[in-house]
């Protein structure tokens, strides 16, 4: 049986993962509006991944005899001034998620919650990947600035994202 402290913290994390999905979906809508379907596709897939992250924590609580408690999801921003600004926000947001995963891991250590530690190992590795992906796209966007042809090329590349 999972501790109340750990259960509460995981329920908070479920909310954060679903907020991430909402944020990336809102960015996808903004890119659709700007006729950049490749960026939008990448962000839709990212949103799907975040939902899956939320569900991993959901299933963990269920398996451990805990109680899932879904909280209200904040409304995300609707519009971003530039492609770069949107992806700088992806990068900053992922850094925040990494910090909250790390805090959850510290709690799992303090609570001697070994099953949660094993689950969180997966998330710790996943965050390394998430931060690297965001940084790579930010670096490309910084290189091309608002250069139309280059932005269309990045759009094409991002549109080729497939399930991994």
| Smallest separation (angstroms) from Mg ion to the CB of 29 | 19
Looking at residues 105 to 124 of the shown chain, list those that interact with Mg ion (rule: CB under 5 A): none
Quote the least distance from Cβ 91 to Mg ion, whole Å.
14
Q: Cα-flanking dihedrals φ and ψ of residue 71, to 5°?
A: -105, 170
Binding mask 49-68 for Mg ion (x = CB under 5 A): -x--x---------------
* Part of the chain binding Mg ion (CB under 5 A), chosen from 16-24, 39-47, 67-75, 79-87: 16-24
Instruction: Extract the tokens encoding 124.
Output: 């710790």
- Counting contacts by CB under 5 A, is residue 93 touching Mg ion? no
State how far the alpha carbon of 6 is from the alpha carbons of 59, 60, 92, 107, 116, in Å.
Answer: 14, 11, 26, 7, 9
State the nearest-atom distance from the C-beta of 57 to Mg ion, in Å.
10
What are the tokens at 78? 């609707």
Q: How far is the CB of 18 from Mg ion (least distance, A)?
A: 10
Total residues contacting Mg ion (rule CB under 5 A)?
A: 3
Contacts of 33 (CB under 8 A, 6+ apart): none
Is 16 a binding residue for Mg ion by CB under 5 A? The answer is no
Residue 41 engages Mg ion in binding (rule: CB under 5 A): no
Query: For the purposes of burial, counting CB atoms within 10 Å of the CB of 33, is it exposed (0-12), middle (13-18) or buried (19 or more)?
Result: exposed
CB 134 within 8 A of CB 91: yes
The residue ranges that bind Mg ion (CB under 5 A) are 17, 50, 53
């Amino acid at each position: 049986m999972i501790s109340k402290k750990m259960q509460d913290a995981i329920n908070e994390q479920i909310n954060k993962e679903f907020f991430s999905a909402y944020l990336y979906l809102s960015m996808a809508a903004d890119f659709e509006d700007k006729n950049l379907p490749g960026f939008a596709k990448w962000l839709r897939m990212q949103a799907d991944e975040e939902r899956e992250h939320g569900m991993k924590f959901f299933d963990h609580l269920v398996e451990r005899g805990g109680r899932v408690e879904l909280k209200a999801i904040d409304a995300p921003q609707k519009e971003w001034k530039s492609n770069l600004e949107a992806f700088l926000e992806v990068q900053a947001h992922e850094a925040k998620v990494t910090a909250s995963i790390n805090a959850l891991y510290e709690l799992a250590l303090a609570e001697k919650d070994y099953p949660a530690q094993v689950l969180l190992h997966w998330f710790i590795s996943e965050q390394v990947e998430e931060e690297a992906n965001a940084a790579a796209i930010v670096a490309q966007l910084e290189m091309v600035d608002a250069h139309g042809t280059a932005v269309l090329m990045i759009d094409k590349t991002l549109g080729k994202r497939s399930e991994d």
